[in-house]
Structure 1
Amino acid sequence: MSLTETARDKTALVLGATGGIGGEVARQLLAAGWQVRALTRRTATEAARANAAEGIQWIQGEVMQAGDVAKAARGVAVIVHAVNPPGYRNWAGTVLPMLDSTLAAATAEKATVVLPGTVYNFGPDAFPLIQDDSPQHPVTRKGAIRVELEERLRDATTRGARAIVVRAGDFFGPRAGSSWFSQGLVVPGKPVSTIRSPARRGVGHQWAYLPDVARTMLALLERRDTLPPFCRVNMAGYWDNDGTAMVTTIQRVVARHGQAAAIKPFPWWMMRLIAPFQPTIRELMEMRYLWQRPVRMANDGLLGSLGHEPHTPLEDAVEATLRGLGCLPATS
C-alpha cells in the first residue's frame, strides 16, 4: 500500500460473492491485497464453502434490505454489484430494488459501484457492432430493465457515488455457475460425448472468460480515480466469427483427453415447449435473438483506459472451464 493510500481505498463489499462473477472478482481482489467483505443470506461457513476463497469477511444480510447493505458497506471504497435472484425467479421485481440498496450505500460512502453489464440493453439500431455509447433501445423486457439499471447508476453519480459498468459477452469459466457453456453446450460432471451448438449457422457470437472479466474490473478499479464518474466500457472477449469456434475448441480439447465428442444442434424446439413452465428456460428463450444474428461489442474505450484487455488464449480458457465443470479426467 502506498503512503497516500488508506485502508478504505482497498476495501470492497462484494454482493453476489457466492455466484460466478462476484466470486471471481472477490478472489482476485483478495489476491491483489484488498480487504473483501461479502453479504450473504447463508451462515458464514456455508458461504465460505460456496465461494472457495479464504480471507473474505462474511456478513449475514439481505441485499433487498437497504439497511443490511448500508451496514456492510460502511467504510468501503468499492461495492461490486454482482447479485441476481437465483434461477431468474421474479427477476423483474427484484433486480432494481437490489440495485437501489447498493446505490443508497454507495452514495452515503461516496463509493464506486462496479456492475457487470450485458448486450441486452441494445436493440437492432445498435447492431451489429456496439460501441460504449451506442443508443439503448432494447426490444426485450430484460433489456429495458438493463437500461434502467444503467440510468440509476448514472443518476447516483450526481449524488457523490461513482460507477463502472463492464459489458461482456456470454460468461464461461471454471466457476461461472449457470451459463450457456455449462447449461447448453455440455453437461457438467460428465465426460463430453455431445456438444450442443445454439448458434444459427454462420452467425457470430461473443463470449467472455470470467477470470478475464474479473481482471478487467480489477484493473479499472485500480485506475478509478482517472475514470469519469460514470464509466461504461465494452469487452471484446472472444468473438466466434461464425458460431463454430467455441464448439470446435471444446471438441479439440476433449479429444486431447481421449474423449470423442459429436457436435449437434441445440434443441430449441424442446426449449420452446418447456419455457412456459420453467423460468430459467423462459428467460433464455427471450434472448435467443443473440444466437440468430451477430451482435458484437467494440472495446475501444477499454483499450483507451487500460491500454490492453486481459485475454486468456481460448483453448486454455476452455480447458480450465471443462476441468472446473468436472468434464475432464482429474489427472491426465
Structure 2
Amino acid sequence: MAANLTESARTALVLGVSGGIGGELARQLVGAGWRVRALQRRAGDLGPIEVIQGDVMDRDAVMRAAQGCEVIVHAVNPPGYRRWADLVLPMIDNTLAAAQAAHATVVLPGTVYNFGPEALPRVAEDAPQQPRTRKGAIRVELERRIEAATARDARAIVVRAGDFFGPHVGNSWLAQGFLKPGQPLRTVREPGTRGVGHAWGYVPDVARTMLELIERRATLAPFARFHMAGHWDADGTQMAAAICRVAARQDLSVKRQAFPWPLIYAAALFATTPREMLEMRYLWRETLELDNARLVATLGREPHTPLDMAVEATLLGLGCLPAPARAVAAAH
C-alpha cells in the first residue's frame, strides 16, 4: 500500500496533478503501490504524493523531477485554455527531454481534436489526422513530437477519449456547459444536435485504463495509441437524460433546455473561453465515435462505470446534489 512504500517502489512523475485526469491517475498510481511525484509551481501537501516545486516550462526543473522515474504522466494544459500556441509544444518538449534522459514512458491523455471530417464518424487510432481547428493542429504536432521521441530512448502511451467528466473535473463541457457547479440542479443545457452522437470519457475509467496500460508498458509498442469508447451517447440526448434520472432520485425537478449558443457568439467578441468553445462546436454538430478494438484486444475489456453511477458521482463532486445526498454518499 501507499503508506508502506519501499525504496524499490516504482516511481512516476505526474505533470498536471491539480487537473482532473492528472489528479485521478496520481491517486490510482498511489493505490497501486507506486511512488508518485508532482511538479507544481506552488508547494503544498498532497498526502502520499511527493511535491516538487517547479514549472513545467522550466526544462531543468522537469528533468530534475523526472530523475529515477519509470513513467511521466503529461496531463498538463495551459490554464483556462489560454496561450495554447505558446505553451503546449514547449511543455511537451520539456517532458520528452526528461523522458529520454530517464528512459521513461510518457503517458498522454489524448483528445479527439486531432480529427477532422475525413475521419468521421467512427474513428480508429490510425485514422487520418486532418484537423479543422487551431487547437487540433497543435494536438497533432504534439503527438508527432512524442512519436519522434520514441526513436530516441523514450516510450509513449497515448489514450484518447471523448469529453472528460468526473467528480473532480471542473473544466469540462459537462461542468461548464450542461450545468452550474456548486448549485442545486434546476436546468440542464444541451449543446448538441439531437441525433448526433457524442463521446464522453469518465475520468476514473480513463485513469484506470491508463494505469492498466502502464503496468503492461513493456509489452506495448514504443509508441502505443489507444481509443476508449467511454460512454457513447448515440443520439446526443443520453447524458442529459442520465442527469435528469439521477436528479429525480434526489427529488429534484430538472428542466432540459438548449444551450445558449447565440450568447456564446456574442461573448466571444470579448473573451477567450467563448471563442474556444465555438472552435470546438463542430464536435456537437457531427458524430465522432471512438473505436476501442485495439484497447479491448490489449486489456481484454475497457474499464467502464455504468453511466448513472458515473453521473451521480460527478454531480456529487461538483456540488450539484443536495447536502443530505452528499453526506450519505460520503458515509458509504
TM-score (normalised: structure 2):
0.95
TM-fit CA distance, 1:176: 1.1
After superposition, give the CA deviation of every residue in 1:233-290 in whole Å (9 maximum; x if it has no partner): 0000011011110001100100110110000000011001111322122111101000
Is the CA contact (8 Å cut-off) linking 1:8 and 1:77 kept in structure 2?
no
1:80-95 mapped onto 2 (5 Å cutoff): 80-95=73-88
The gaps in structure 2 that reach 5 residues or longer are: 326-332
User: 1:44 is matched by which residue type in structure 2?
Assistant: G
1:178 equivalent to 2:182? Answer no
Which residue of the partner structure matches residue 20 of structure 1?
20
Which residue of the partner structure matches residue 276 of structure 2?
283
User: 1:191 is matched by which residue type in structure 2?
Assistant: P
TM-fit CA distance, 1:36: 0.2
TM-fit CA distance, 1:304: 1.2
1:240 equivalent to 2:233? Answer yes
- Please give the alpha-carbon distance, in whole angstroms, between the structure 2 residues aligned to 1:269 and 1:116: 31
TM-fit CA distance, 1:331: 2.2
- Please give the alpha-carbon distance, in whole angstroms, between the structure 2 residues aligned to 1:208 and 1:288: 18
What percentage of aligned pairs have identical amino acids? 61
The 3 A distance-change label for structure 1 pair 19 and 170 is same
The gaps in structure 1 that reach 5 residues or longer are: 49-53
- Please give the alpha-carbon distance, in whole angstroms, between the structure 2 residues aligned to 1:7 and 1:162: 24
The 3 A distance-change label for structure 1 pair 8 and 234 is farther
1:239-278 mapped onto 2 (5 Å cutoff): 239-278=232-271
Is the CA contact (8 Å cut-off) linking 2:170 and 2:318 kept in structure 1?
no
1:137-152 mapped onto 2 (5 Å cutoff): 137-152=130-145
TM-fit CA distance, 1:320: 0.2
TM-fit CA distance, 1:201: 1.6
After superposition, give the CA deviation of every residue in 1:278-311 in whole Å (9 maximum; x if it has no partner): 2122111101000001011100110111111000
Which residue of the partner structure matches residue 115 of structure 1?
108
TM-fit CA distance, 1:92: 1.2
TM-fit CA distance, 1:8: 6.5
- Please give the alpha-carbon distance, in whole angstroms, between the structure 1 residues aligned to 2:145 and 2:91: 12
TM-score (normalised: structure 1):
0.95
Show structure 1 runs of 4+ deviating over 6 A: none
Q: Secondary structure at the match of 1:133?
A: coil
User: 1:221 is matched by which residue type in structure 2?
Assistant: I
Which residue of the partner structure matches residue 328 of structure 2?
none
Which residue of the partner structure matches residue 314 of structure 2?
321
Is the CA contact (8 Å cut-off) linking 1:8 and 1:76 kept in structure 2?
no
Q: Secondary structure at the match of 2:168?
A: coil
Q: Secondary structure at the match of 2:18?
A: coil
- Please give the alpha-carbon distance, in whole angstroms, between the structure 1 residues aligned to 2:297 and 2:221: 13
Q: Secondary structure at the match of 1:233?
A: strand
Is the CA contact (8 Å cut-off) linking 1:15 and 1:38 kept in structure 2?
yes
- Please give the alpha-carbon distance, in whole angstroms, between the structure 2 residues aligned to 1:304 and 1:134: 18
Root mean square deviation, CA, Å: 1.2
